[in-house]
Amino acid sequence: MAPMEMRRFRSTNSETVAETWHEFAPSSRLLSVDPEQCKLEWFSATVDGFSLIRYELTANIESSIAPESQLFSCSVQAPRGGTIAGRRPLPAGSPWATHGTPVSARWEDTAVVRAMVFDRDYAEQLARQMSGDDGLTLQLRTPEASGEREAAQWERTFNYLAASVLAGDATLDPSTIVGTGLLRHALWTVLTSFSTSFSNTRDFSPQRSAAPGTVRRALAYMDEHAHEPISVDDVAKAGHISTRGLQYAFRRSLDFTPSEYLRRARLAGAHHDLAADPDASVGEVARRWGFTNVSRFSAAYRAEYGTHPGQPRRI
């Protein structure tokens, strides 16, 4: 799988604007661009199956999109413009989503556009892992966010991902622990910010046939693979059980969840690396073990080991 590709540039060429947008949204069309006013500032981070996009475009724009092969979520901030799904106007400035329903936008002067775009097949595969429902088919019921709280959640997640990638604190590369976690977080946000079929899976009763042996195998798997970009979904798959079944088994047998144990296992790995190399950078070790926020890592480390990770250490 290809690593993350990040792109940043500025352009005043209307053809470049159209070509770049079409690359990330093949179903899109810029119906009208005023070349005399065109000015673009572009940022994108892309991995197989997902793109994070932010651009500021000054131009008089009419555009449309109907992404049947994508789960496309987007926010258009344009004081002099609007967005329409089918024939229904969408709330100004609020995020919207589509996987085929035509959405058109228009604006004058300047707009800031932000988007989290999943290939639909990849999103469905990942959603099945997250829900434990192997028969899940992703369906989007309405294009609007479910409410103000959900719209704000979408905005916070986008801003966090973009800031982390731009600062070099995180990568979306799914071959890394950090990247795997961020991609799942992005999809969870999209699927819970809008009314989707994913919401139904949270109402189903979990599998209840797990035995203590399942828990022991899960613990061993996490101990062995904590240094890899695995998730609880991967742990459940390795144990031939649904994610919900695994979570129920842990609740029944232990006083912590699979996610909590995986976090402890990664803290233990970071603790060992810091002790083995007293000169190691705390930030580098934290990111190696999947912790993107050094402050939060330090707090968790102190809670677990009673000391700051930067203090003198030895095995």
CATH number, domain at 93?
2.60.120.10
Q: Give domain status of residue 40, yes or no.
A: yes
Instruction: Evaluate whether residue 95 is within a structural domain.
Output: yes
The closest of 189, 171, 52 to 126, measured between CA atoms, is 189
In a domain, 34, yes or no: yes
Q: Which of 27-31, 114-118, 197-201, 205-209 has the highest mean pLDDT?
A: 114-118
Question: What are the pLDDT digits (tens) for 234-255?
Answer: 999 888 888 888 888 888 888 7
Q: Is the pTM of this model over 0.95?
A: no
> Does the residue 287 lie in any domain?
no
Q: How far apart are CA 187 and CA 198, in angstroms?
A: 11
Residue 203 has pLDDT above 70, yes or no: no
> Nearest Cα to 68, choosing from 98, 112, 32?
98
| Cα–Cα distances in angstroms (integers) from residue 67 to residues 117, 186, 308, in the given order | 10, 18, 48
Question: Is residue 25 included in any domain, yes or no?
Answer: yes
Please report, as a single letter, which amino acid is at residue 279: D
- Residue 65, CB-side half-sphere exposure with 13 Å CA sphere: 26
CA–CA distance from 201 to each of 50, 64, 127, 191, 198 (Å)? 23, 32, 10, 11, 6
The dihedrals phi and psi of 10, each to the nearest 5 degrees, come to -125, 150
Q: What is the pLDDT of residues 151-197, one digit of tens each?
A: 999 999 999 999 989 888 788 988 888 888 899 999 999 999 999 98
211 — pLDDT class (breaks 50, 70, 90): low
Average pLDDT score over residue span 36-53: 91
The reported pLDDT for the residue numbered 314 is 46
- pLDDT for 128: 85
Q: Which residues contact 50 (CB under 8 A, 6 or more apart)?
A: 116, 117, 118, 119, 122, 172, 183, 186
Domain that holds residue 104: 5-120
Q: Residue 1: its pLDDT value, please?
A: 57
- Domain membership flag for residue 195: no
Question: Which residue reads 């801003």 in tokens?
Answer: 159
- Report yes or no on 211 lying in a domain: no
Name residues whose C-beta falls within 8 Å of residue 244's C-beta, 6 or more positions apart in sequence: 131, 132, 204, 206, 207
> 13-17, 29-33, 54-58, 277-281 — which is least confidently predicted?
29-33
Q: Is 213 within a domain?
A: no
Task: Give the total number of structural domains in the chain.
Answer: 1
